Amino acid sequence: MQTSELRMLAVLAEEMNMRKAAERLFVSQPALSQRLQTIEKSWGFPIFIRSQKGLTLTPAGEKVITYAKEVVLKEEKVRDEILAMEGEVHGTLKLAVASIIGQHWLPKVLKEYVRKYPHAKISLITGWSSEILKSMYEDHVHIGIIRGNPEWKGLKEHLLTDSLYLVDTEISQLQDVFHTERPFIQFKSDSTYYQEIQDWWHRQFHSAPKRTIVVDQIETCKQMALNGIGYAILPSVTLHDEDKDVFKIPLTDEKGKSIERDTWLLGFESSFKLKQVQAFLDIVKEYG
């Protein structure tokens, strides 16, 4: 099979939907369906089961997809290594970044990267830090940027430290939490971050919040707090100078020290040698 066909199978397996895969591959859905039928005929068995809900991998198809992904990944590595031997920055920069950093810190860095290196491509995954670590260990990305302080055997550089604040349009001091009927707005996060907030809360108030609202994204949580729906605990990296119409109360530990959260940049030495990765790291240092 040609690499283009293997790449097509990999995209189909990622999307599990013919229409979405066709859009990513810039081909028509009938053309994609015909190519898939040809590939399945050459293998002698179906790779996917089609239904109105989408695609489902057959047991034999799972093995073919594993093979396809391995070949595509190896080809990309070889291409990156060849491009790294040349003078200009080419290749794909593969990043896996914690969602908070991807929303609030990364855009200005990528803007400069795109301006300086127009021939380089960017592949970006965002999610929880645990998901980022998984992508790193599976060798899917060049650089991971995560929150907290993880164990990591490769290269690890400190990126930034930010403080945690209780943010609200009405509450100006922590004692007000005892008297408010307004909800505590929480966003879903990694267990370590969640536990850190829980420990602080029970140490401070010795009881659960009267009312809570749980949302999927930190940006939703922030906007609800800024619009006066309730109060939230947010890291300073998400707060900006324009957020002036809210009270920001710093969280402190038993010794009165500000509770902080670190962000780390992770990678392997082999990845750091690639020109597109070196170029990104240079820009990160400028914004560090």
Check: CB of residue 259 under 8 Å from CB of residue 200: yes
pLDDT of residue 109: 94
For residue 46, pLDDT beyond 90: yes
Between 3-15 and 59-84, two packed helices, what is the crossing angle to 10 degrees? 120
Tens-place pLDDT, residues 207-226: 889 899 999 989 999 999 99
pLDDT of residue 40: 94
Q: What mean pLDDT is reported for the chain? A: 90
Residue 235 counted as domain residue: yes
pLDDT of residue 287: 76
Tens-place pLDDT, residues 58-72: 999 999 999 999 998
What is the CB neighbour count within 10 angstroms for residue 254? 7
Q: How confident is the model at residue 242 (pLDDT cuts 50, 70, 90)?
A: low
pLDDT of residue 15: 93
Residue 47 counted as domain residue: yes
For residue 243, pLDDT beyond 70: no
Q: Which of 42, 64, 85 is the last residue of a domain?
A: 85
pLDDT of residue 133: 87
pLDDT of residue 90: 79
pLDDT of residue 84: 65
Residue 80 counted as domain residue: yes
Residue 173 counted as domain residue: yes
Q: What H or E segment, with its residue span, contains residue 126?
A: strand 121-127
Q: Which of 46, 62, 85 is the last residue of a domain?
A: 85
For residue 249, pLDDT beyond 70: yes
Mean pLDDT of 269-288: 88
Q: How many Å apart are CA 16 and CA 51, to the nearest integer?
A: 11
Tens-place pLDDT, residues 92-151: 899 999 988 998 899 999 999 999 999 889 999 998 888 888 888 887 899 999 998 888
Residue 98 counted as domain residue: no
Residue 33 counted as domain residue: yes
For residue 85, pLDDT beyond 70: no
Q: How confident is the model at residue 231 (pLDDT cuts 50, 70, 90)?
A: very high
Residue 92 counted as domain residue: no
pLDDT of residue 86: 65
Between 3-15 and 18-25, two packed helices, what is the crossing angle to 10 degrees? 140
Phi, psi of 24 (to 5 degrees): -65, -35
Tens-place pLDDT, residues 138-193: 878 999 999 988 888 889 999 999 999 999 999 999 999 998 999 999 998 877 88
**Tokens (6 digits) for 270:** 């082999």
Residues of the chain with pLDDT > 70, as a percent, come to 96
At 175, which CATH number? Answer: 3.40.190.290
Residue 24 counted as domain residue: yes
pLDDT of residue 288: 63
- Name residues whose C-beta falls within 8 Å of residue 115's C-beta, 6 or more positions apart in sequence: none
Q: Can you give the residue range of the structural domain that contains 58?
A: 1-85
pLDDT of residue 123: 92
pLDDT of residue 283: 94
> How many structural domains comprise the chain?
2
